[in-house]
Structure formats: structure tokens, C-alpha cells
Structure 1
Amino acid sequence: MVAFIVDSSFDKPDVELKYPIFYAPLRVYIDGREYIDKENLTVDDFYGMLDKAETFSTSLPNPKETEDLLKKLLESYEHVYMLSISSKLSGTYNMFKAISAPYKDRVTVLDLKSASVELYVLYRGIVHYLEKGVKITQELVDELRKNTKLLFGVMSLKYLEKGGRIGKAKALLGRILKIKPILSVDSDGTVELVAKDRKFSGVVDKIIELGEDFIKKQGIKKPYILAGYGSQKYKKYLDRLIEHFNIKDIAQISAAVGVHTGPEVFGIVIGQF
């Protein structure tokens, strides 16, 4: 039997899992106060506070607590897979590697090179191959990502700017032009701009277009598509996406990711499994 440890940027719909997942929560700081993501900070409370916050940031999961969790799981499970947010976005992957080094024969650490809802879709792919008896490696994850696409719109660039995910010049230009970007994560795990529009409706149209193009280009016969959103008041922008792609699963984007995107975020991730 195997188990998974994920950081709290891993966002999943309310579905039953084939293998147990345990969280290593990131720390979220709002106006100088520390919160433990998904433990003493609910997603809705977080977005409510973020609207009014002057300062906000995140930090890694606690290394000692994460190692204690890993040791405990190794008492009950034959193997533990540690799935990390992109190493280009956080130091979590390096921390996972460091604490798992003494147990490397029974622990596999993987850089999923993305964040939020795409992590869940990649987990599904990993489980698919695990049940076929395929060895789970970083190379396999990189191959899975070729048939996985995250597309999300953000209505404000200020959070990406404050979090260091885009430069000040781009953020300033975006504010002047009133640009609403559509973002993805590239093969290295870095946030990239893939399209833009000035209207909410245009963002939805472009996500649909980009999603359809990706499915066709990759030749995906039966895509699995997961929708994600930040603040509850932006969930409504998913309606057309849900209807167009016949989406069944929806997940709310966690505080660990929402710190960088802001509350005005919504989108989809397309996968093969």
C-alpha cells in the first residue's frame, strides 16, 4: 500500500481518492499574522481577508512536522510519494528532498512543475500508471505534463506583482491597458502569459478556444477537465466553461496559491486521465 504527501497548494474537488493524501501545509502570512493553510485558515475566510490586506506572503511547510509525518506514514505504508508544487514557484520541493534523503528507498519525491488544480490532475495520472505497475519517476511526470494544460484568468495583476511572479513593468503596463491575462505554467514550471483580453467574457472565450486547441493538438480522446476558482463571487465565471466542456469536478483554489493570483481567479485544467 502506498500513500501521498502533498503541500497545501494541492487543490482537489470533493471526490473519493484511490490512495490516501496527507498535507504538508504551507504557512500564509496576512498583515503580519501567520496562518496554517487548510488547518486554521479556511479558503473563504482567506479570500475575505485578502481583499483588505496590506501585506501577504507564504512560506514553506514546517520541515520538522513534515519529517514527523513522513516517519509516521512509513510505519504503515510500503512507499510514500511526495508531490510538490513547482520548484520554480516554491522551495518546497528542495525541502521534501532534504527530509526524505534518509528514506530514499521507500520515498519518491516528484516536482509536479505546476500548482493548484493541475497537481490533482497529475495525481490522477500518477495513480493510473501506478495501478498498471509502471515505476513512477520524474521523467514519467514530465511526460504526463505534456498532455496536461492549466489555463486560468486573473482579473488583477497586483497579486502576481507583489508575489514576484511578474515584473513591475509588466504589471504597470497591464494596469494602464486594463489587461486581464490568461496564464498557464510552462514545461519548466514557470508561470507564463498565453493570452489576454480586456473583458471578462473575452477571457472565458479565449480559455475555451485555447482548451479546445490543446485537446485537438494532443489528440486527447476523452479528456478529464477540472474547473477551479478563487473567491466564491468569481465562481459564476465558470458557468460557461462548465457547460461547454461538460465539467463534473470543481475545486476551490487554496490560500497558498490565491496569495499570488488574488481572489479574482478562475479557469480549467485539462488532462488525459
Structure 2
Amino acid sequence: MPKVKILTDSAQDFQPEFLESKGISVVPLTVFFGEEAFLDGYEIGGKAFYDKLRTSPHHPHTSQPSPEAFRARFDELTSDGSHVIAILLSQVLSGTYQSAVLAKDMLPDRAITVVNSRLASCAYGALAIMAAEMATEGASAGEITGFVESMASKCVTVFSVDTLDYLAKNGRIGKAQHFLGGLLNMKPLLSLDKDGYVTAIERVRGKGKVLPRVMEIVGERVPSRKASVVTISHSDAPEEALKMKESVLSLVETDRVYESQIGSVIGTHVGPGCICVQVFPE
């Protein structure tokens, strides 16, 4: 049975060095401020990105990796006969998945599986970590792919943004379009649907009501109150993220929690002040 290697893209919001230390390859997306281009996670990220977002005269935009970037990495990883599984950002949010599919087609004699996670941020990064663990333990490519697709289909995502302006400017507002132009001080609560589109849950009045209502929604959507994995991510809102973590762990029993600051790709689309919880129910 061929060795299995795991690859993902940078929009999963874990630091590339962290994933690389676990044997996971990362192909970065690119963020542009005007004519300046930065490789996500490698050349910009964290607080430096949010500082630039707030001060730059240019609104950033993002670009998926080229098919050639994926082809080169696939070629490198499969040169020893290994099977590569690429676990990638939701196809409806980015052209990243399609670039990887095109790259796979350039190497028809290589063992490459491309998975549309239908997720964003830390959730599919966590899936990549679990997939890499399974590969280390000797699981087959089919077993790993089946596990990842099954887990992804069950993921519960709930997040809040300070404003929908960033999602709207970047064309990622999806099925939450009708929330635009809402009342002052109304905070949107959003999710990802089964296809990976951003979708509206509801609006709450005032920031103070966001976290309690998010926890109610998580409780409704995870009735077992047990999870194999929980991820917490935020865009330059560490205090709110800490409160969310404490609240989630008082509600849901889990042995594995991941936390991360939202990187420059997802940060471009949600803006500062986003907090997100993603739960894989047992």
C-alpha cells in the first residue's frame, strides 16, 4: 500500500509551520493590497495583516494558488509513489479547489485525491491534522478520504462578524445577502450550509447578545453535547475568542480543541472582529 501524504491550503488558518511540523504540506493563497502581493501565512498574517487592513488605502483582495503551484507540489510529493490527499477550502468560496483539480489532471499517472471540504477556516485544518495522523498510523487513502468527507458533512459552524461589508465587497456574502442594509447595531450570526456557502442564521441586537445566542445555537445543533473536535478562530478579537472558548467548553464535552487567529485570506472577507466556533459532533 502506498504511503499517504496530506496537503492543504493556507485559508485553513493554522500557521504553515505548525502544519508542516505535522508532515502536512501547505499551498498558499495570495493577498493583494493594491499592487502589493503577499503569500498568505508566509509573508503576511496575524496582527500585521489586520493593522494593514485598517490603515491601507487599498481594500485587499485574494487569489487562489495557480494550477502550476499545485502541480509542482503534487509532483514533488508523489515522486516516490505516495498518494496525496488535498483537503481544501470550500469550492464555492474560492477557485482553490478547481486549481487543484486542474493540477491533478496534469499528472494522470500519479495518485492524487482532491477533497472539497465545503468548509472554511480551522475546521478543515483540523481535518488535515486528523488525516495526517491516520496516514501515520497506516490508514489507506480511501479510508482517510472517507473519514474526512464524513466528518466535514457533520461540522457545525457558527460565526459572527462586526459588519457584513467585507463579505459583500468581496462577493462572499452568499445566502446572507438579505441581511445587508439592516438596522443599526444589529449583529449578524452566520453559518456555512452543506455546500459551503455562507448562510444567514439571524441577527441579534448589540454585541453583548452575540455570544449567548451563539451558544444557544451550538446547543441546538449539537444535542449530544459531545464533540470529537472543537475549533475556535477569531479575526483580531482575542478576548472575545477566549470567552467563546470558555463558553463552548462548558457546553460541549471534547478532548481536542484548536484555536487560531483567522489569517489574511479569510480575514479579507470577514474583516476584524469575527469570532467563529466549529464543532464536529460525536
Instruction: Output the TM-score relative to the length of structure 2.
Output: 0.84
Q: What residue in structure 1 maps to residue 30 of structure 2? A: 27
What is the count of residue pairs matched by the alignment? 268
Segments of 5+ residues of structure 1 without an aligned counterpart are: none
From 231, 235, 238, the equivalent of 1:230 is 235
Residues 8 and 125, structure 2, Cα contact 8 Å, conserved in 1: no
Q: Identify which range, 263-272 or 127-136, moves more after superposition.
A: 127-136
Q: Counterpart of 2:93 in 1: which secondary structure?
A: coil
Residues 87 and 189, structure 1, Cα contact 8 Å, conserved in 2: yes
Q: Identify which range, 136-145 or 76-85, moves more after superposition.
A: 136-145
In structure 2, the CA distance between the partners of 1:57 and 1:104, relative to structure 1 (3 Å rule), is: farther
Q: What residue in structure 1 maps to residue 4 of structure 2? A: 2
- Pairwise CA RMSD: 2.7
Matching of residues 193-212 of structure 1 within 5 Å: 193-212=200-219
CA distance in 2, matches of 1:181, 1:123: 29
Quote how far apart the aligned CAs of 1:103 are.
Answer: 4.0
Q: What residue in structure 2 maps to residue 66 of structure 1? A: 70
Residues 83 and 109, structure 1, Cα contact 8 Å, conserved in 2: yes
- 2:113 is aligned with 1:108: yes
**1:2 is matched by which residue type in structure 2?**
V
Q: What residue in structure 2 maps to residue 88 of structure 1? A: 92
- 2:54 is aligned with 1:51: yes
Deviations 1:200-232 (A, max 9, x none): 22111111111112221xx3634421111111x
CA distance in 1, matches of 2:19, 2:31: 27
Q: Identify which range, 68-77 or 118-127, moves more after superposition.
A: 118-127
Q: Counterpart of 1:39 in 2: which secondary structure?
A: coil
Segments of 5+ residues of structure 2 without an aligned counterpart are: 250-255
CA distance in 2, matches of 1:29, 1:215: 38
Q: What residue in structure 2 maps to residue 264 of structure 1? A: 273
Quote how far apart the aligned CAs of 1:250 are.
Answer: 1.1
Residues 24 and 128, structure 2, Cα contact 8 Å, conserved in 1: no
In structure 2, the CA distance between the partners of 1:2 and 1:104, relative to structure 1 (3 Å rule), is: same
- Percent identity over paired residues: 24
- 2:43 is aligned with 1:40: yes
Q: What residue in structure 2 maps to residue 155 of structure 1? A: 162
Deviations 1:100-144 (A, max 9, x none): 122465111000011111212333554576658462476654432
Q: Counterpart of 2:11 in 1: which secondary structure?
A: coil
**2:213 is matched by which residue type in structure 1?**
K
From 237, 240, 263, the equivalent of 1:254 is 263
Residues 158 and 171, structure 1, Cα contact 8 Å, conserved in 2: no
Quote how far apart the aligned CAs of 1:16 are.
Answer: 7.3
Quote how far apart the aligned CAs of 1:27 are.
Answer: 0.9
Q: Counterpart of 1:177 in 2: which secondary structure?
A: coil
